[in-house]
Amino acid sequence: MVQPPASSAYLRDHINQLIQEATTLERNEPKKPSFPENPVEAYTQQILDWLSSLPESQQKQAYTMNTIIKLSNLKGIYIDSPSPQKIAPALRKAGFRQIRSWKKIDRNIRLWVWESNKP
């Protein structure tokens, strides 16, 4: 019968030390959710950040929801594109209002216009 190498005791001590370090790190770090608690708030902040980077002439322009999602780099919680159900309240909270274009070329599309001075 062959004796195990002497390094196995060192390995055991090293493994125990790593386990101890891991448990202390888990206790010290608060667990963060993988997604924000309120995605509407996060989307609103991202939209306002994007809007503040635009010149005034572009701020007054009407945008579709898909255009706003692409230009402000909004990402969904579980998939790449965010839910319109979460984006619409975020747009309203950011100061946008919804209008509809009745032009024949626009095909009755919904547009969002930012109102800079809300009463």
Contact in structure between 93 and 112 (CB atoms under 8 Å): no
Residue at 21 is within a domain: no
Residue at 7 is within a domain: no
Strand partners, 110: 100
Which pLDDT belongs to residue 119?
Answer: 42
Residue at 14 is within a domain: no
Residue at 119 is within a domain: no
Report the alpha-carbon distance of residue 47 to residue 13 in Å, rounded. 52
pLDDT digits (tens, 9 = 90+) for 8-61: 667 788 888 888 888 887 676 666 655 557 889 999 999 999 999 999 999 999
Report the alpha-carbon distance of residue 58 to residue 114 in Å, rounded. 10
Number of folded domains in the chain?
Answer: 1
Question: pTM of the prediction?
Answer: 0.66
Strand partners, 97: 113
- Count each helix (H run) and each strand (E run) in the chain, helices first: 5, 3
Instruction: Name the residue range of residue 50's domain.
Output: 39-114
